[in-house]
Amino acid sequence: MTVLAVRGLTKHFAGVPALRGVDLDVEEGSVHALLGGNGCGKSTLIKALAGVGPGDDGEIAVAGQLHAAPAMTPRHAREAGLRFVHQQLSIFPDLSVAENLAIGHGWEAGRTGRIHWRSQNRRARDLLDRFGVPVYPRQLAGASSVATQTMICIARAMQDLEQAGVLVLDEPTSSFPPAQVDQLLAFVREFVGHGHSVVYVTHRLDEVVRVADRATIMRDGLVDVHVERDELTHDRLSRAIIGPAVRSAGTSVSARREPPAGPASVVVDGLAGGPVVGASFALRPGEIVGLAGLLGSGRSSLLKLLFGALPATAGTVEIDGRPFRPAGPGAAMRAGVAYIPEDRQADAAFASLSVGENLSLATSGEYFRRGRIRHRAEAAAARRLVGDYHVKTTSTRAAMGTLSGGNQQKVVLARWLRRDPRLLLLDEPSQGVDVGARAEIWHLVRHAVDQGATALVATSDLDELATFCDRALVIRSGRIADEVAPADMSEHTLQSRAFGIDQEAS
């Protein structure tokens, strides 16, 4: 029996179609995998189901109840028994498991508002038993593994459902070590055994093969292929996702360069600090090098070490043959290092300062001549940068916070690239950036690298990494454990290398 049916769902963003008439049927008590490359419309489809970004046209039927897609609201989705657990877990690590569960539901409180901890914990115990989550109610949620935390989130999402529901898991395992993937997959199978249904969104084909009853592959806002259980093989899925292979190979080759000849400009030897225990590698001018690794592998920390934002405990760095001790951001900047942090709002943008001020903060000394800041020259330079970097803003005097995420990122990029850095460190450069700006940002990085700089880019989006980087370093447990040569650059290779699986049979 079909528990969730989508018919002819469409959605446009500023006239650009994101969904072009999607049909989907999810059978009751089954795991239905939803697959596709980045920008294929998976996330848009999920948002339309959740009612947070309703579709333009089409119908959604849940448990026999029909909704017009544009009228879908989060409340409708909830009442119909649709539940969502996202990649970024909404766990409060410093609260107990019981408290985490109560936050989505309500507290067992007396008339005076006092919480009855005993019944609260008993309720949590029952819930955890019902779903088979291996934790104690009083335990701190942050102390359990990511797999268990995901299970807690699932239990929390499903706790107030009387009937069987549909759970959408959005890339649940993206930051999991392999052993925990097994735990979660077993949990999901058990879960559907109780009559619930699961829509399982993932990039990982091996998980689909192991857990799914059926798979739907999306591409360019359309459902491309349905694959039934008996056809679910790694090979079948990868062919379906890659699609007409020649076309995508064409784009990637044009974006990527052969490694430039010549000596290395950046040599790092045994760099350690924080979770990084000893990173050694060399980078040549003119290349964009990706840094692939799982969450917690030391990916972001390595960039911070190179910029001096995290103190190094050991190791040496050489830039253009000169030894450089990353003692702090100031020293790193003088050595020609630029760093664009992952969290733009917290670590890069000055929201209430103007675009012009944001552009010049890493260059302030330059316009300070004869005891004054040359405001006119500075403003002229800011206007030129806004033009050169395609920043969409009403003026350079507009506050940074009024710009979109992509445009803010371009301002941050311009702030650093105007310094002509030798080594450009980027951490998740296209996070929170729309697709158009993402391409522009990569284009700007490529342009800087063509002028002789070197870029080291850490990103969790391996598809993006495979598309835009020339080669990749793989960081595992704080060490550069592997390297992916230009010819091998693919999301799949990067993924398996990041996990330390040498080569999968495919």
Partner 1 sequence: MTTHATTEPEAVEPTSALASAPTVTARAERRWSSYVEALALPAVTVVIAAFFSLWPETSDYFLTSANLTVLLGSQTVVAVIALGALVPLIAGQWDLSVGAVAALAAVLTAQALADGVALALALALGIGAGVLIGVVNAFITTRVGVNAVITTLGMATILDGVINQRTGGIAVFGDIPLAVVEFGTGTFLGLPRTVYAVAVVALLVYYLLDHTPYGRYLYALGVNPSAAALVGIRVRLVLSVSFVLAGALAATGGLLQLARAGGADPNVGAGFALPALAAAFLSAASIRPGRYNVGGTLVAILFLAVLNNGLNLAGTPPYTSSYVNGAALILGVALAAWLGRRNSSA
Tell me the Cα Rg of the chain.
Answer: 25
Q: Does 103 bind partner 1 (CB under 8 A)?
A: no
DSSP code at position 231: G
* DSSP per-residue letters across 95-140: SBHHHHHHHTT---B-TTS-B-HHHHHHHHHHHHHHHT----TTSB
Residues near partner 1 (CB under 8 A), total: 74
From CA 362, how far away is CA 334, in angstroms rounded? 11
**Which residue in the set 357, 405, 432, 500 belongs to the binding site for partner 1 (CB under 8 A)?**
357
Q: Which of 233, 250, 291 is nearest to 427 (CA)?
A: 291
Which of residues 75 and 247 has its CB atom nearest to partner 1 in the complex?
247
Per-residue x/- track, 319-348, partner 1 (CB under 8 A): ----------xx-xx-----x-x----xxx
Question: In whole angstroms, what is the distance from residue 315 CA to residue 281 CA?
Answer: 11
- Residue tagged 């391409």 (tokens): 439
Residue from 353, 405, 432, 481 that binds partner 1 (CB under 8 A)?
A: 353
Strand ranges of the sheet holding 479-484, from the earlier edge strand across to the other edge: 322-324, 314-319, 266-273, 276-283, 479-484, 471-476, 288-292, 454-458, 423-427, 337-340
Give the residue, chosen from 463, 477, 481, 500, that forms a contact with partner 1 under the rule CB under 8 A: 463
Angle CA(123)–CA(127)–CA(133) in degrees, nearest 5? 135
What's the min distance (Å) between Cβ of 217 and partner 1? 10
Q: Which residue lies nearer to partner 1 by CB, 16 or 295?
A: 16
Identify which range of 120-128, 155-163, 397-405, 474-482 contacts partner 1 by CB under 8 A: 397-405
By CB under 8 A, the residues from 7 to 26 that bind partner 1 are: none
The HSE-up count of residue 76 (CA atoms within 13 Å, CB side) is 20
* Nearest to partner 1 of 57, 388 (CB atom): 388
Find the shortest distance in angstroms from Cβ 108 to partner 1: 38
Q: How far is the CB of 318 from partner 1 (least distance, A)?
A: 21
Kindly report the number of other CB atoms within 10 A of residue 248's CB atom: 14
Residues 195-234: x where in contact with partner 1 by CB under 8 A, - otherwise, as a string: --------x-x-----------------------------
Closer of 183 and 360 to partner 1 (Cβ): 360
Minimum CB distance to partner 1, residue 287 (Å) = 15
Q: Which is nearer to partner 1, 287 or 440 (CB)?
A: 440
Query: Of 44, 393, 460, 496, which lies in the binding site for partner 1, with binding defined by CB under 8 A?
Result: 393
The binder of partner 1 chosen from 349, 414, 426, 474 (CB under 8 A) = 349
Each residue 361-390 as x (binds partner 1 by CB under 8 A) or -, in order, gives: xx-xx--x--xxx------------xxx-x
Give the x/- contact pattern for partner 1 in 291-310, rule: CB under 8 A.
----------------x-x-
Q: Residue for token digits 């935390």?
A: 149
Given 22, 490, 497, 498, the residue binding partner 1 (CB under 8 A):
490
CB contact at 8 A, 337 and 319:
yes
Taking the complex as a whole, how short is the minimal distance between the CB of residue 200 and partner 1, in angstroms?
16
Q: Which of 87, 233, 238, 316 binds partner 1 (CB under 8 A)?
A: 238
**Token pair 């970097």: residue:** 389
Within positions 157 to 176, which residues make up the interface with partner 1, using CB under 8 A?
none
Q: CA-to-CA distance for 192 and 427, rounded, in angstroms? A: 38
CA dihedral for 39, 40, 43, 44, sign (positive or negative): positive
Spell out the SS3 assignment of 31-63. Answer: EEEEECCCCCCHHHHHHHHHCCCCCCEEEEEEC
Q: Which is nearer to partner 1, 121 or 490 (CB)?
A: 490
Tokens of 178: 């392999």
Torsion angle of the four alpha carbons 197, 201, 206, 209, in this order, in degrees rounded to the nearest 10 = 30
- Nearer residue to partner 1 within complex by CB, 73 or 364: 364
Site for partner 1 in 242-281 (CB under 8 A): 242-243, 245, 248-249, 251-252, 254-255
Distance CA 426, CA 459 (A): 8
Looking at the Cβ atoms of 161 and 399, the one nearer to partner 1 is 399
> Binder to partner 1 among 380, 392, 420, 485 (CB under 8 A)?
392
16-27, strands of its sheet edge to edge: 16-27, 2-13, 57-62, 65-68
Cα-based distances in Å from 83 to 78, 229, 249: 7, 24, 37
Query: Considering beta carbons, is residue 266 or 437 the nearer one to partner 1?
Result: 437
Give least dist CB 261 to partner 1, A.
23
Q: How far is the CB of 204 from partner 1 (least distance, A)?
A: 10
Q: Min. distance of Cβ 490 from partner 1 in angstroms?
A: 4
Interacting residues with partner 1 between 25 and 84 (CB under 8 A): 37-40
Judged by CB under 8 A, the chain residues 402 through 461 that form the site for partner 1 are 402-403, 415, 435-436, 438-440, 442-443, 446
C-beta of 99 vs 342, nearer to partner 1? 342
The crossing angle, in degrees rounded to 10, of helices 146-158 and 178-193 is: 20
